[in-house]
Structure 1
């Protein structure tokens, strides 16, 4: 009986075939994931849950570009810090409600009740939101330790400086994040030629000082973006003179409206994959 020998391919040929066959799959999957994230984010930004006054501020706050820069995905566990009236919550909650998780870390006072009333009024979009407390030093368990993929804080750090609890907050962010998790910070950016006011009484914080605050808590800077920069803002006034606050009322209103919202830094940090002790 004649024995037929199997066809033998050289090893390099088999490896080449494997690379050709397999390498497009992860690339295609990644591209699909990115496209899916962008589509879901665009839908959340355009959704009917957003108020018209909030939509009008997109031209200053650039939510699509900002959240994309931070690397958000609909499957993440995200903590938003001190959400105020919920400007970003209107986007984050519908984005994350089906496949992710959203914690909202709020302080005390009437603002907290107003925010929670907002959530209760729209269970379709906000029923899955988990509200936690951020009142240092005792109440800073903003999410289970090591559970969050991302912590986000928008225009808050300048307020904390006056109360001397900034490091309590940054340490809380660090505890909540998984190793490799992202901290995204947006805040009013001070003139770098001027010394940093330790209590930021005009509402502006130097970018290098903000980076130092995060690094002291153990974070590593991985990116800085000019997405929310505004060169019209000369930062020679309290930030509250500008919209949306317009604290001076009709005085210089046109001037401040022409400037628009403040010049802002947009910084991305990570909790190191191999956890280091904060300094």
Structure 2
């Protein structure tokens, strides 16, 4: 309860700073309170060691009052954290492809999170047809899922998708000055679609090129989630490395002009 009260108080004080540019206000207590939120499930907390949520959101600069998007939200891990940070003056849209919104444990978790989170809205869409509203968001994050845009799966109903079209749609959805964070498993250079199909990894240079072609500028990259001991030739689901893969972490910004 103490963490929740701290988060609520900080959000009310800081909401006015959301879209006015950089602020010198220390947001560390806001991120810490979001991570400590008692509404978070044990399954979410178990992922914190590998995902470093407070440090991740601090690097990207999520602030109270922002309109944020969690892209390919899964069970809503990041959506809940974002909602705690943006507070009552902000909003979070959790984007989930229809192909991944199927009956099962992950869907049940996401539905429960949405029901318990008035600041989070679920937006479902065909995986191959991402069409968010224009000029809608100050912040977006895609965690460990961008590589899937190069993936095809008859089993899961995933047709061949156009990553360039996704990046262009995301660019149009972001407001001038908005930030997009991209975290993914580091993969080798080569045939991107073949590498993704085999390993579920992606060459960081491919992601950077996709976003820069769409108009984004790479503002910074962080070694926060790097693991030099990871073997980039291993499938990310290999028990020897799962949850500990070497991850690149990019911070893109949409230019103000």
Q: Write the deviation string for residues 134-178 of structure 1: whole angstroms up to 9, x where unpaired.
A: 4266x5332x31121011100111111123321221112111101
Matched, 1:232 2:229: yes
Structure 1 residue 268 displacement after superposition:
0.7
DSSP-derived class of the 1:66 partner: helix
Structure 2 gap ranges (5+): 1-16, 152-159
Matched, 1:94 2:91: no
Q: Write the deviation string for residues 107-152 of structure 1: whole angstroms up to 9, x where unpaired.
A: 1035366666445535684122122234266x5332x311210111
**Structure with the greater alpha carbon radius of gyration:** 1
Instruction: Pick the aligned partner of 1:78 from 61, 68, 85.
Output: 68
Matched, 1:156 2:177: no
- Partners of 2:99 and 2:251 in 1: how far apart? 29
What is aligned with 1:271?
254
* Structure 1 runs of 4+ with >6 Å offset: none
- Partners of 1:109 and 1:207 in 2: how far apart? 26
Structure 1 gap ranges (5+): 1-25, 247-255, 275-279
After TM superposition, list the pairs within 5 Å mapping 1:152-191 onto structure 2. Answer: 152-162=141-151, 163-191=160-188
Instruction: Give the structure-1-normalised TM-score.
Output: 0.73
DSSP-derived class of the 2:140 partner: strand
Instruction: Give the structure-2-normalised TM-score.
Output: 0.79
- Partners of 2:211 and 2:40 in 1: how far apart? 31
Matched, 1:45 2:24: no
What is aligned with 2:97?
107
